[in-house]
Amino acid sequence: MLKLTIALMIVVSMMLVACNRNTAPTIESTIIDHNYSLVRMEYRQLYQNRTALYNNMHWAPVDENGVSLFAFQGQDYYHPVMIGQRCQQALSDFNNTNDQRYLNYVRASIEALSQRATRLEDKILFPYEFDYPAGMTNITYIAPWYSGMAQGILLSLFSRMYYLTGETRYRELADSTFATLRDLDSPIPCVYISKGDTLGVADGYYWVDEYPHPTQRFVLNGSIIGSFGLYDYWWVFGNKKAARFFSKQMTTVRDNILLYRNPAGKSYYCLKFRFPDPLYHALHQILLNQCFIYTGDLYFQAVSQLLYTDFH
């Protein structure tokens, strides 16, 4: 009888542990989310697409395969964000012209980035291979360092390449890149969940993080542009998880955008150092209008107009 009682107690304990595991909230489930239903636009309306040609893929410097390089402190480097944006623009040009030279440029660029990528389980990350002392701050990012903005831009690129070519390799790259933006506890973080910050940001917001670092800056343009990769991944593959993370990022922007406002002046580039910049002020307006296009939320459009009223 005693043995039976002990056995029953063990079974009950195991059931309680399993129940607690099932009911305990995950990090993802605690992220603030307004549950946006995303608006599916035409391909030409995706960010960076336009009818006019960019034709900037040959801007110097380039490597022996024509891949764009970044000149910095007397050396040339592969810059994931710059390459990703040039490639997005080349795909826009390809979509307008069907000129294979644009696709060839993108293929060579993706190959150069892939050769230098960091693999971590099911994830692929694209490093910056130079130390970067960020202007108007006291922070230097030490190579190799990684950026959620870069991961998001390249997620857009791989998704669009798959859409335009149907080649499996680009879906595999997109899947592995998306995994970095849904990993909330990675040793190489690309996203950040706000917690205990002192810059006016409440706990529980999901940020695609342009500059992961112990000193959190909350850079606005990088977070929004990086998150557009989530939208593109959803747009191409119909991935519901990507749609949910994009909704969380749009929630973050909606609830925190006024922290960047500088009434009667240029909006702030980031919340930590709060320096205004006319170029980024104009970019913030463009990005907020794109958020409106993707979500249908008129608030984004209204704040864009408010920023324009503050300074133009």
pLDDT of 7 strictly over 90: no
Q: For residues 117-137, give the mean pLDDT.
A: 97
Chain segment 211-220, per-residue pLDDT in tens: 999 999 999 9
**Percentage with pLDDT > 90 across the chain:** 91
Which pLDDT belongs to residue 23? Answer: 58
Closest by CA to 158, choosing from 96, 111, 98, is 111
Alpha carbon 147 to chain centroid, angstroms = 8
251 vs 22: which has the higher pLDDT: 251
Chain segment 69-89, per-residue pLDDT in tens: 999 999 999 999 999 999 999
Here the contacts of 49-53 (C-beta below 8 Å, separation 24 or greater) are 49/88, 49/91, 49/92, 49/95, 50/92, 51/96, 53/93, 53/96, 53/97
φ, ψ of residue 27 to 5 degrees: the values are -60, -45
pLDDT of 19 strictly over 60: no
Measured distance CA(207)–CA(131) in Å, rounded: 23
Degrees to nearest 5, angle at CA 175 with 77 and 102 = 50
**Out of 12-16, 50-54, 161-165, least confident range:** 12-16
Which pLDDT belongs to residue 18? Answer: 45
Q: For residues 40-68, give the mean pLDDT.
A: 97
DSSP H helix total and E strand total for the chain = 9, 8
Rounding to the nearest 10 degrees, give the CA dihedral for residues 103, 78, 228, 307.
Answer: -120
Measured distance CA(103)–CA(161) in Å, rounded: 9
Chain segment 229-288, per-residue pLDDT in tens: 999 999 999 999 999 999 999 999 999 999 999 999 999 999 999 999 999 999 999 999
Mean pLDDT computed over every residue of the chain: 94
Tokens of 9: 């107690």
The neighbouring-strand residues paired with 173 are: none
Q: For residues 124-147, give the mean pLDDT.
A: 98
φ, ψ of residue 146 to 5 degrees: the values are -130, 155
Q: For residues 32-58, give the mean pLDDT.
A: 97
Half-sphere exposure of 8 (CA within 13 A, CB side): 5
pLDDT of 25 strictly over 90: no
CA-based end-to-end distance of the chain = 83
The neighbouring-strand residues paired with 120 are: 123
Which pLDDT belongs to residue 12? Answer: 43
Chain segment 154-209, per-residue pLDDT in tens: 999 999 999 999 999 999 999 999 999 999 999 999 999 999 999 999 999 999 99
